[in-house]
């Protein structure tokens, strides 16, 4: 049995249409109700409306990405109990509509973070890029976080100061917009708002945040199991502490800690090769093997690192991650199951006819189409060579 090929779609305002996705060859859709504020209940009517829209266009809604976690839950403060109950209600409503995979993340304050969303590749296409010097510029000189300098190597601090001294106002604005970009379709955060959010984490270290996540899972995983939903946590992106915030879903041990937080098999992982692959200490094939059937959803993309730990998003088969080894391990797990694990080509270069279009960063059509085609071919080759088809 093969994995199921899906495609992320950000809803009716996504520049990539459902017709485009049909032409890319995807079999199902990954999406969310991005217009619903974090913490509010997803109603049956709202969920069914999205299902009906996709069905009208000959698609199924295969994975929710994401049913977001309110910051009160992550800090276990304020109205966290109310928001956990809202989360349980949303899970029950999703199950009533036939949904069975829910992705989420536990990254504090900021979601995925990059410092350049139009990094020029040698072939002229554009990629997403993360650079520690640029993040230090944002953190030390723009966000002005207390004690920020002490969290970077001295050479990065010096490089950041020298580079920032030459920054134009346009470069300043672009860096702020990029770091705070967040998820398309959701409310954008300001620098002042981020400062206030960071204050909530002053006394929350790795252990405290892990404890808060375990508490959340202990509350919601039984409900997920009861209604037949699989929970899939997305790893931290990037998989390092940033902006003084602890990251707790970044390493092999972190993922094992997640699945051991509760006994329910509903508690699982969204295995993202791009996020996890940015950490050179992660052996992705070994991680897949260890997590086994607790992997409920898969993101496939690749990254290329340099000596400082900066990285850009490479071709799907062309970065530091051995995609052959990873997909072979994933397909080995797939043979144990009677339903296909969904995967999607994660991100892609902005290229060809998409170069002059307005697209969501990482989510232009052609780059992902190329990635899906490469991944589909690699998967078929492995399946045939192993006699699994």
Which entry of 72, 116, 346, 354 is annotated as an active-site residue? Answer: 346
What HEC string does 303-350 produce? EEECCCCCEEEECCCCCCCCHHHHHHHHHHHHCCCCCCCEEEECCCCE
22: annotated active-site residue: no
Q: Are 134 and 154 in contact (CB under 8 A)?
A: no
DSSP 8-class letter at 201: T
363: annotated active-site residue: yes
Which entry of 104, 129, 272, 354 is annotated as an active-site residue? Answer: 272
Rounded Cα distance between 212 and 204, Å, is 10
192: annotated active-site residue: no
Instruction: Identify the CA nearest to 31 among candidates 44, 19, 20, 18.
Output: 18
141: annotated active-site residue: no
234: annotated active-site residue: yes
299: annotated active-site residue: yes
Tell me how far apart the terminal alpha carbons of the chain are, to the nearest angstrom.
Answer: 7
Which entry of 299, 312, 349, 354 is annotated as an active-site residue? Answer: 299
Which entry of 14, 62, 134, 234 is annotated as an active-site residue? Answer: 234
Which entry of 104, 129, 312, 363 is annotated as an active-site residue? Answer: 363
Rounded Cα distance between 198 and 109, Å, is 7
Q: Quote the tokens at residue 311.
A: 């990285």
Which entry of 70, 296, 316, 347 is annotated as an active-site residue? Answer: 347
Instruction: Name residues whose C-beta falls within 8 Å of residue 263's C-beta, 6 or more positions apart in sequence.
Output: none
Cα Rg of the chain (Å, integer):
20
DSSP 8-class letter at 354: G
Rounded Cα distance between 100 and 268, Å, is 13
Q: What DSSP string describes 28-72? A: EEEE--TTSPTTSPPPHHHHHHHHHHHHHTT--EEEEE--PPPHH
Active site (catalytic) residues: 234, 272, 299, 346-347, 363
């Amino acid at each position: 049995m093969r994995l199921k090929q899906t495609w992320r779609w950000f809803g009716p305002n996504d520049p990539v249409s459902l017709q485009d996705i049909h032409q890319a060859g995807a079999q199902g859709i990954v999406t969310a109700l991005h217009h619903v504020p974090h913490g509010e209940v997803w109603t049956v009517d709202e969920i069914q409306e999205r299902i009906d829209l996709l069905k009208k266009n000959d698609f199924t809604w295969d994975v929710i990405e994401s049913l977001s976690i309110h910051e009160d839950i992550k800090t276990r403060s304020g109205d966290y109990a109310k928001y956990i109950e809202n989360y349980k209600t949303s899970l029950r409503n999703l199950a009533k509509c036939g949904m069975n995979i829910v992705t989420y993340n536990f990254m504090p304050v900021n979601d995925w973070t990059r410092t350049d969303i139009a990094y020029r590749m040698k072939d002229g296409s554009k990629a997403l890029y993360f650079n520690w010097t640029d993040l230090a510029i944002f953190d030390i000189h723009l966000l002005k976080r207390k004690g920020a300098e002490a969290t970077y190597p001295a050479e990065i601090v010096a490089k950041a100061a020298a580079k920032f001294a030459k920054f134009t106002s346009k470069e300043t604005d672009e860096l702020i917009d990029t770091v705070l970009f967040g998820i398309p379709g959701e409310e954008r955060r300001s620098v002042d708002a981020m400062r206030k959010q960071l204050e909530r984490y002053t006394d929350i270290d790795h252990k405290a945040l892990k404890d808060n996540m375990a508490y959340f899972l202990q509350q919601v995983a039984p409900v997920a199991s009861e209604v037949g939903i699989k929970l899939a946590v997305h790893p931290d992106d990037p998989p390092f502490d940033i902006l003084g915030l602890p990251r707790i879903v970044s390493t092999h041990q972190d993922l094992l800690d997640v699945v051991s937080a509760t006994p329910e098999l509903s508690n699982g992982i969204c295995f993202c090769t791009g996020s996890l692959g940015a950490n050179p200490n992660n052996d992705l094939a070994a991680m897949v093997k260890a997590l086994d059937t607790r992997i409920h959803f898969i993101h496939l993309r690749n990254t290329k690192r340099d000596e400082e730990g900066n990285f850009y998003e490479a071709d799907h088969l062309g970065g530091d991650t051995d995609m052959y080894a990873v997909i072979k391990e994933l397909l080995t797990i797939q043979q144990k199951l009677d339903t296909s694990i969904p995967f999607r080509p994660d991100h892609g270069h902005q290229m060809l006819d998409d170069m002059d279009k307005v697209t969501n960063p990482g989510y232009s059509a052609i780059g992902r189409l190329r990635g899906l085609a490469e991944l589909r071919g690699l998967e078929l080759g492995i399946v045939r060579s192993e006699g699994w088809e």
